[in-house]
Amino acid sequence: MIKLYIALALLVSGTALGQIEQNVNKTTGTVSNAINDIDSIRFNAGQTEMQIILNSGTVVNHAILDVNNVTFSGQLIGVLTGLDCAGASINGLLVQGSAASGVSFVFSYTGGNGGVHNGQTVPSTGVVGLTATLAAGTFTNGSGNLSYTITGTPTTAGTASFAISIGGQSCTITLSVALPLAAITTIDCVGATTTGSLTSGTVASGVSISVPYTGGNGGAYNAQSVSSTGVVGLTAILAASAFTNGSGNLSYTITGTPSAAGTASFTISIGGQSCSFMLSVSASSGQTWPAGTVHCTEVPTAIVDVTNPITGAIWMDRNLGASQVATSSTDDLAYGDLYQWGRRADGHQCRNSPTTATLSSADQPEHGDFIIAPNNPKDWRSPQNDNLWQGVNGVNNPCPSGYRIPTEAELDAECLIWSPNNAAGAYASPLKLPMAGSRNPSGSIFQVGTQGTYWSSTVSGLNAIFLISSFAFTPDNFRALGYSVRCIKD
């Protein structure tokens, strides 16, 4: 009987010792019960029976005379004193809609007692669809690590949380779920919808375009900026976001100032697809070119003002015929056309215009050829006319309405503020004058990229005054030469 009482005392502390099963060894055999299933043990009034009361309420009776002894068996149940979820090491990447592969996390524990654990499967919360699985095993004595394998498919992007409870300790592991790489099946620039309108020389405001797509996979895409071609000076800006699953629209905001009237084109490439959309740019009201003007490119020169803060003069920000403001002294897109002094924009100013040796007796030749004049006074017109480019009402003023050819004094005033007084200073000035070269009286183009020459409206005897930007002074030269023109606002 004393041995029996000792065994029952051990039952009370059995779980603490890590045993998992109670065995009543009788003369007729052994009857076992899981320790966790036992509520209590008692003896009848005469102490002739041992009664084991289970958690279910069932009473198991054992005659004392039939009991040889009571023993305990089973493996030591694992117990821990701490879990370090915060220091977990995460391997692999989880992506929305893709089955987890090669993803796991490992974290450390302390206070292991060498006991066993049955492993566990833990479903995710937050982002659902995932399971963290720990295989059954044995805790080390002291510190160790637990490794969980992630399976399943995350339903959304965000954070998946796993509530871990093992060895008498609990903590939570969080894993990030990324959006998939952005991809679409088609993009339809032809079906794009435009909001707002664009006007030459006017800053874009409230202008946007919505481009539809299909086959979106929910993936995230980066912001992008796309510069216009054709009519330059505009940028289409798309904010970073994510494709919807299926069909959706991309909204581009248009910024900048269109360089001219015409068509601005934007080529976009996103989600593995590309297309181009076009926006019309209207001519600025009140700013028109003289009748009969021939433009050397498909898009007329943009009429955009720039002000010299020292002189107060307002100029066009680029040469006549240039497609953009100079980005350097040798920016060929900023060179523009080469005019013979006093001629209108009849096509002769185009750098590839044909030549003729026949001088003109009229202010406005009936052709657009560059007139070569090898003999003195080397003027395309015979007899000469000194009044072709004077003021906004000059008979052959090639500038848009409200603008004219500058005088010698106005060019000199600009040179005075240059630092240094050479081509570098000319480019560094508000006018950003490039070295566009010249065309000699025989029709050949020369000094491109090494010298800039700009006509004034001022005549000097048989010649006319011009500015040499490379040396910042204003000599005179033959009127049959082809020089750049920069218009000043009247």
Report the mean per-residue pLDDT for the chain: 91
167 pLDDT above the threshold of 70: yes
Mean of the pLDDT values across residues 459-470? 91
Report the chain's terminal Cα–Cα distance, integer Å. 124
Tokens linked to 187: 């993009």
Mean of the pLDDT values across residues 189-196? 91
- Distance between CA 339 and CA 482 in Å, rounded? 5
- Distance between CA 486 and CA 490 in Å, rounded? 13
159 pLDDT above the threshold of 60: yes
Report the share of the chain in percent with pLDDT over 90. Answer: 71
Q: Other C-beta atoms within 10 Å of 320: how many?
A: 26
The per-residue pLDDT for range 99-152, each reduced to its tens digit, is 999 999 999 999 999 888 989 999 999 999 999 999 999 999 999 999 999 999
Q: Higher model confidence: residue 289 or residue 335?
A: 335
Backbone angles phi, psi at 197, to 5 degrees: -140, 160
Cα 217 to Cα 129, 184, 185: the distances in Å are 18, 6, 9
Give yes or no for a contact between 186 and 270, defined as CB atoms under 8 angstroms apart: no
Give yes or no for a contact between 60 and 23, defined as CB atoms under 8 angstroms apart: no
Mean of the pLDDT values across residues 366-394? 95
400 pLDDT above the threshold of 70: yes
Please give the domain boundaries of the chain with CATH numbers for all domains.
2-73 (2.30.30.100), 82-178 (2.60.40), 186-282 (2.60.40), 287-490 (no CATH)
- pTM across the whole model: 0.50
Tokens 């050397």 belong to residue: 296
